[in-house]
Structure 1
């Protein structure tokens, strides 16, 4: 009899650890299915532009959220994911990359650091590199110079595997402060002489800093998988659930042990 009761107690004692392993594994699996990464956009060309973005993957679908400010009011902003899916190390440029010394970091100079266009973040239609200058399909800043962007697009497996190697770059500066792109500010674009340099020069850039599942860019973008209405972190909820479950399991073990002790005592006395 003692051996059977001891065996049952051993099984019950192992229950909390087993439950803990199961519960902890579940959020990890979910995170692996839908990884998300936050990006802080920092100004280039002394534009005063800044913003926050989030990249979220679900299978081979990439959702991109961007909230930025300090853009040229009423003007379109070409924006892209730059970088490499072949393991090359690209990063955001700085003023020292202005190799011709004209005081403006143009896109050609900056590409040396942040790489070629991988995905064009258009509002509709194609998203390949060929749409990089499709200004008619790029987001337009409001009268306060703010841009709010969200789009889900299909991507290749290479992008899925190297998403951390890609950077977001937004373009468009206003060197002569007249709230529009024109050649008086910086001449013609080296990419397309039909466009002014102000339209294609980078205004900000941001690199993936690391996983940020559940985080939301500035402005409270609705992601559908972020914190609840009360602002409770999913990780905190998960932690509370784990603690409650393990506590309950432990209480169950203790109760069973006490009950067993009461039953065993008379048998020992006999």
Structure 2
């Protein structure tokens, strides 16, 4: 009985302290504007495009890394952080948002779901909404249709506070399969008639999956999965909250050892 009471006491003492530690560390990280967030990009418009992006915050400095594939070879891929920093709930669209039924989900139709441009992910120069169609400053897919992008930007406190409400969209499709943007594939863009619809229609989209999930996978693109787990514990807990997990599991281990340890000082074996 004494061993059981001692084990319960150990758990009860460790649990509040561990949880307080996790909450405190998480609050400190949020206040300091730090954290890493993964985004898995999934195809739109049957493009076959996919990818993985990482958003890393250090204060008001945001580093964006993207590795994607299935884009139009040799063509610029406009890309942006879409969403809201004022509490609106936006998300990635699907084929049902093609309201005019022409078989192409254009940017105007999709914006209803993923919101306006918050940051234009250009390779250089301005990153505001006005740079949304600056195709001359957007990354260009290589001969295999892959894009590798990295840039560190200064962002507003609103972006820091609402980073989990934002998501990445890449643009550019090839409806007629000729490996270039042209007007024959889907006509003119509703955003700018001087551009083909193929150049501005979204090719993929992804939402933030979790915090502190590590770096972009080396040797390939991972898609279609959320945060991985370690022994049943979400990865988000393995950063600051990992200390709490270790403390709790340590208490449970002590309890198990005490429960199974033989009782000495009297005749007979342990019950």
| TM-score, normalised with respect to structure 1 | 0.72
Q: How many residues align?
A: 218
Which residue in 1 is equivalent to 2:43?
A: 43
CA contact (8 A) 1:31 1:213 kept: no
In structure 1, C-alpha distance between the alignment counterparts of 2:163 and 2:219, rounded to whole Å = 23
Which residue in 2 is equivalent to 1:218?
A: 217
CA contact (8 A) 1:57 1:63 kept: yes
Q: Give matches, 1:106-185, under 5 Å.
A: 106-185=106-185
Partner SS for 1:112: helix
Partner SS for 1:82: strand
In structure 1, C-alpha distance between the alignment counterparts of 2:133 and 2:172, rounded to whole Å = 11
Which residue in 2 is equivalent to 1:229?
A: none
Which residue in 1 is equivalent to 2:8?
A: none
CA contact (8 A) 1:67 1:219 kept: no
Residue segments in structure 2 that go unaligned for 5+ positions in a row:
1-13, 221-234, 251-271
RMSD: 3.0
Partner SS for 2:160: helix
Give the stretch that moved more between structures: 128-137 or 33-42: 33-42
In structure 1, C-alpha distance between the alignment counterparts of 2:192 and 2:124, rounded to whole Å = 22
Q: Give matches, 1:176-215, under 5 Å.
A: 176-209=176-209, 211-215=210-214
In structure 2, C-alpha distance between the alignment counterparts of 1:185 and 1:202, rounded to whole Å = 14
Partner SS for 1:35: strand
Residue segments in structure 1 that go unaligned for 5+ positions in a row:
1-16, 222-232, 247-270
| TM-score, normalised with respect to structure 2 | 0.72
Larger Rg computed on CA atoms: 1
Deviation of 1:216 (Å): 1.5
